Amino acid sequence: MRRQQSWMVVSAVSVLLGVAGCVKDEGPTPSEEERASTAPSPSAGASPGAGDAPQAVEGDPDTPVPVPGSSPEAPADLVDAIEQAALTRVTTRFEATATLNGIPRARASGGYAFHEKDRVDFTADLEMSSREGDDYSARSVAVGEDFYLRPPSTEGMPEGTSWVLRSREDFEDPPEPRALYAETIRAISGIRDWSMIAAASDLVPAGARTVDGVRGSGHRATFDVLDGMANVSGRGGAWRVLQDLHAQGVEEISFTVWVDDEYLPLAVLVHMDTEEGPGHVDLTFTDWGTTIEFPLPPRAEVWQRS
First-to-final CA distance of the chain: 29
pLDDT in tens, 226-267: 877 777 665 555 677 777 778 878 888 888 889 999 999 999
Task: Check pLDDT > 50 for residue 18.
Answer: no
Contact, 294 vs 113, CB < 8 A? Answer: yes
pTM: 0.78
Torsion of CA 166, 171, 172, 173, to 10 degrees: 40
pLDDT in tens, 158-208: 999 999 888 876 654 444 444 444 445 444 444 445 566 667 788 899 999
Q: How far apart are CA 63 and CA 120, in angstroms?
A: 20
Half-sphere exposure of 72 (CA within 13 A, CB side): 25
